[in-house]
Amino acid sequence: MLEFTLLEVEENDYMLIQNLIRFYVYDMSQYTEWKCPPNGLFGGADDQPYYFGRIPQDPEDRWPDGWSGKGFKIMVGNEIARFCLVRFYSNGDVHLNDIGEFFILRKFRGKSLGKQVAHAMFNRYRGKWQVRQMLENRPAQTFWRKVIADYTKAGFLEKTEFFPEDQCELVVQRFESPTRP
């Protein structure tokens, strides 16, 4: 098992995350219609400001009311190994945690790091969770099914659902991480 440190992103990590998201977007382009931009530089995420406590300038990039975000970078020694962006929805008594983006640099894949970090997130933010994947991203579906089944002892629900904010159908797993004893 790899030892890792989970750090909340700070303002001076903005470019780091933006640049890493480009690799995430490139990976995701395998499953989407996204084309390589003319300058060869894949884009970042339009909603990234939320993970730094800000609101995107363009209204088209805004989340529905009640959502906020937090970003994390995961270090293995002094090296960045991955990032994880988490969203939180709150409306009255309803609270929901949601994995926004989850990306491991290739050299760190297949070493249980994704699983350990996901479990650390579920423990950090106790309560209702949803994790969503593109229909085409079957490797991610396999990964999340295993990670969540392991965490919940198979106590999760999965379905395919239309998400109006994303204007598409996604596979979603839902479960609850238990409150601390």
Ligand X SMILES: CC(C)(COP(=O)(O)OP(=O)(O)OC[C@H]1O[C@@H](n2cnc3c(N)ncnc32)[C@H](O)[C@@H]1OP(=O)(O)O)[C@@H](O)C(=O)NCCC(=O)NCCS
Interface positions with ligand X (CB under 6 A): 24, 27, 102-104, 109-115, 133, 137, 139-140, 142-143, 146-147
Residue number with the smallest Cβ distance to ligand X: 114
Q: Given the complex with ligand X, which of 62 and 111 has the nearer CB atom?
A: 111
**Residue where the block lists tokens 């609270």:** 95
Cβ neighbours of residue 76 closer than 8 Å, sequence gap 6 or more: 2, 3, 4, 108, 113
Please check whether residue 130 is in contact with residue 98, taking contact to mean a CB–CB distance below 8 angstroms.
yes
Q: Given the complex with ligand X, which of 45 and 104 has the nearer CB atom?
A: 104
Instruction: Specify the pairing of strand 127-134 against strand 94-104.
Output: parallel
Report, in Å, the least distance between residue 82 CB and ligand X.
7
Report, in Å, the least distance between residue 141 CB and ligand X.
8
Report, in Å, the least distance between residue 108 CB and ligand X.
6
Report, in Å, the least distance between residue 40 CB and ligand X.
20
Closest of 16, 134, 32 to residue 75, by C-alpha: 16
Quote the tokens at residue 85: 């962006």
How many distinct helices (H) and strands (E) make up the chain?
3, 7
Amino acid code (one letter) for 9: V
Q: Given the complex with ligand X, which of 13 and 114 has the nearer CB atom?
A: 114
Q: Given the complex with ligand X, which of 34 and 57 has the nearer CB atom?
A: 34
Q: Given the complex with ligand X, which of 29 and 91 has the nearer CB atom?
A: 29
Report, in Å, the least distance between residue 163 CB and ligand X.
13
